[in-house]
Amino acid sequence: MKQSLLLLLTLCLVGPALAADSVGKSAAELEKEKAMKEPFANDFGPETLPEKYLKTLSADAQKGYKALRVKCAQCHSAARPLNSQFVETGGKDKAAREAAAAKLQKSHPELFDKEHKNLWQIEGAIWQRYVKRMMNKPGCEVTKEDGKVIWKFLSEDSRERKLEKQKEWTAHREKLLSEFKKNHPGRYKELYAH
Ligand code: HEC
C-alpha cells in the first residue's frame, strides 16, 4: 500500500515533467522553430542598416528600426524583414497608399512584372498587413506601440532604400536569391520558382 502510494506520487510528479520535455513546448517556441526551419533568401542578408542611412529617416521610423532589431528578432533574425521584397507606397491613409500603388503600376508597369515578383512586391498596405500578421503569432512580444513605429519604419524604408535606389536594391536582392537557390534549392523552388 505504502509502495503503491509512493509510485503514484512519483508518477504525478515525474509524469508531467516528462511530458513537458517532449511535447510540452509553448506555442511561442513552436513558432520560433517553424521560423528557423523554413528559411527565406532574406535571412542571409545583413541584420543591420548603416547609421548614416538611418539618420535620413523620420524620428518615428528610427524608433521603429530600434524596436524591430529587438522585437522582430524573437523568432527569426532581423534580416528577414530588412531584406524583404515588400514595398509599401506612401500616403496619408490606406486608401491614399493603395491609390499611389495603382498610379505607380501605370507609370512603371515593369516593377509589377511577374518575373520581378521576387525583387519587388509593391502594395499600398503590405507592411501594415505583415506587421499585424506577425503580431498575431503566438508568443509575439511586439506591443501595439512597437507595431506602429515598426510599420512606420518598414513602410518609409521600403520607399527610400528600394524604390528610390532601384539599381542597388535589385542587385542586392538578386544576389541573395541566386545564393539561396544554390544553397537551399528545395526551399527556393517552394518560395520563388513559380
Ligand atoms: C512569434 C514569432 C515571430 C515573431 C515575433 C515575428 N515573426 Fe516574422 N515570421 C515568423 C514565422 C513563423 C514566419 C514564416 C511563416 C509566415 O510567414 O507566417 C515569419 C515570416 C516573416 C516574413 C517573411 C514573409 C514572406 O512571406 O516573405 C517577414 C517579412 C517577417 N516575418 C517579418 C516580421 C516582422 C516585421 C516582425 C516584427 C514586427 C516579425 N516578423 C516578428 C515568426 C515571427
Each residue's pLDDT tens digit, 22-33:
467 888 888 888
Q: For residue range 35-46, what is the model confidence (pLDDT) as tens digits?
A: 888 999 999 999
CA–centroid distance, 52 to ligand 1, in Å, is: 26
Which residue's entry shows cell 491614399?
Answer: 96
The percent of residues in the chain predicted with pLDDT above 90, rounded, is: 80
Q: In the structure grid, which three cell numbers stand for residue 19, read together?
A: 511530458
Which residue's entry shows cell 528600426?
Answer: 65
Task: Report which protein residue has its CA nearest ligand 1's atom 39.
Answer: 72
pLDDT at residue 30, rounded to an integer = 86
Q: What is the mean pLDDT of residues 143-172?
A: 97
Task: Report which protein residue has its CA nearest ligand 1's atom 7.
Answer: 134
Q: What is the mean pLDDT of residues 109-119?
A: 95
pLDDT at residue 5, rounded to an integer = 55
**What is the Cα 94 distance to its own chain's centre?**
20
Q: In the structure grid, which three cell numbers stand for residue 183, read together?
A: 544553397
Using CB atoms within 10 A of its CB, is residue 162 exposed (0-12), middle (13-18) or buried (19+)? Answer: buried
Mutate to test the pocket of ligand 1, among 68, 121, 137 (most ligand atoms within 8 A of CB): 137
Task: Report which protein residue has its CA nearest ligand 1's atom 37.
Answer: 72
